[in-house]
């Protein structure tokens, strides 16, 4: 089996803590180059991980090194241009979530992948968690029946990141909704077979992040906090299903961190994290809790899946079309919050 030659765009934490270490676990992978606008940072990562080439721009990397696939690990604002450039250079692309900043960008990314005949997939690593893969098997087996309602929560008590650009709307496009909320939203949509959205109603709040407070993830830059600290929303789908969403970097709640997807079907329901199935059988109400789930983290499985998909020439689990759909929902939630009106998609 020939090795897949990988390039890394962006040398920040998601690249050095997640993508590069998990690529290096794959015997069929060789990391050929890394690029970052801060050349020193790219060179440091290249030294630490024995990557042969470091560049100050991804354009230079794509021009000078022959690569099979690329991970895009830059702030959201630069996802589209980096992913499209890599696709046009003949590379498969794993782009970190969310897909982009706007629907137009997500659509252009989808079109670029189709035109290039290359794979484009997104970093929705929760799909690869064992709880999700097991729940999907139950759903595909008809155990939950028709899933008509879902509830999504991505809520931190005081979890505003004290690093990076997570509180910079210009670079990120938003706060908890587009950062952690999109993970749980994608997980729910994936388990619901990605229904087509119909009407979106959203509301955002900035009540805690714009003032100094206790930071459980470090002290954030509250004086330059330009994103929402909480978003809530409701989505209805053209198949009749509905979904309620809550996402917060900071909220006055009991739990330090809640990441949860709850599904309700006409034959059963489920909470995903941890996995618990609820059914009615033999004139009784029963709860099913797995005694064993396969080991391995979602990030590691995601990278392994991407590598195997490229080598087998099979579309990875997260598709460009799904990326466009979730971008439409996220942007419609923000649009609704700004206008005070529901958005028809």
Please name which of 137, 118, 101 lies closest in space to residue 62, comparing C-alpha atoms: 118
* Strand pairing category for 29-35 and 53-55: parallel
Domain boundaries, the chain: 4-125+300-318, 127-295+327-344
Q: Which of 188, 156, 332, 318 is nearest to 262 (CA)?
A: 188
Q: Say if residues 127 and 317 touch (Cβ distance below 8 Å).
A: yes
**Are 4-125+300-318 and 127-295+327-344 in the same CATH fold?**
no
pLDDT tens, per residue, the chain with 345 residues: 479 999 999 999 999 999 999 999 999 999 999 999 999 999 999 999 999 999 999 999 999 999 999 999 999 999 999 999 999 999 999 999 999 999 999 999 999 999 999 999 999 999 999 999 999 999 999 999 999 999 999 999 999 999 999 999 999 999 999 999 999 999 999 999 999 999 999 999 999 999 999 999 999 999 999 999 999 999 999 999 999 999 999 999 999 999 999 999 999 999 999 999 999 999 999 999 999 998 878 999 999 999 999 999 999 999 999 999 999 999 999 999 999 999 999
Topology (CATH level 3) of domain 4-125+300-318: Rossmann fold (3.40.50)
> Closest Cα partner for 68 from 36, 29, 37, 98?
29
Rounded Cα distance between 19 and 29, Å, is 12
Sole residue written with tokens 């059988």: 281
| CATH number, domain 127-295+327-344 | 3.30.360.10
Q: Which residues, 6+ apart, have CB-to-CB distance to 139 below 8 Å? A: 147, 191, 263, 265
Nearest CA-CA partner of 182 in 154, 201, 206, 149 = 154
Separation between Cα atoms, residue 313 and residue 166, nearest integer Å:
34
Query: Concatenated DSSP letters for 181-236?
Result: IHHHHHHHHHHTT-PPEEEEEEEEE-SSTTS----BTB---GGG--S-SEEEEEEE
pTM of the full structure: 0.96
CA distance 290 to 293: 7
């Amino acid at each position: 089996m020939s090795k897949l030659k990988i390039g890394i765009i962006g040398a920040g934490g998601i690249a050095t803590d997640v993508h590069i270490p998990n690529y290096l676990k794959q015997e069929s992978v060789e990391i050929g180059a890394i690029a970052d606008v801060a050349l020193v940072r790219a060179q440091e990562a290249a030294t630490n991980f024995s990557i042969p080439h470091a560049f100050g721009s991804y354009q230079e990397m794509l021009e000078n090194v022959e690569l099979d696939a690329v991970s895009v690990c830059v702030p959201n604002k630069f996802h589209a241009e980096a992913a499209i450039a890599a696709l046009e250079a003949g590379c498969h692309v794993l782009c970190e979530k969310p897909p982009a900043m706007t629907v137009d960008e997500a659509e252009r990314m989808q079109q670029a992948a189709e035109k290039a005949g290359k794979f484009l997939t997104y970093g929705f690593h929760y799909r690869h968690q064992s709880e999700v893969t097991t729940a999907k098997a139950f759903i595909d087996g008809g155990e939950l029946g028709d899933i008509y309602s879902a509830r999504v929560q991505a809520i931190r008590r005081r979890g505003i990141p004290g690093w990076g650009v997570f509180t910079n709307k210009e670079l990120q496009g938003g706060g908890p909704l587009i950062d952690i909320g999109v993970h749980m939203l994608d997980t729910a949509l994936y388990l619901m077979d990605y229904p087509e959205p119909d009407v979106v109603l959203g509301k955002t709040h900035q009540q805690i992040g714009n003032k100094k407070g206790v930071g459980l993830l470090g002290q954030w830059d509250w004086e330059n906090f330009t994103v929402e600290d909480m978003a809530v929303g409701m989505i209805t789908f053209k198949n009749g299903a509905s979904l309620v969403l809550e996402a917060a970097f900071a909220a006055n709640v009991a739990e330090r961190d809640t990441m949860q997807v709850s599904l309700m079907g006409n034959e059963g329901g489920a909470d995903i994290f941890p996995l618990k199935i609820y059914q009615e059988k033999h004139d009784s109400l029963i709860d099913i809790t797995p005694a064993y789930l396969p080991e391995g983290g979602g990030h590691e499985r995601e990278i392994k899946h991407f590598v195997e998909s490229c080598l087998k020439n099979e579309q990875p689990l997260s598709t460009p079309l799904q990326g466009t759909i979730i971008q439409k929902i996220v942007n419609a939630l923000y649009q609704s919050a700004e206008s005070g009106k529901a958005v028809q998609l």
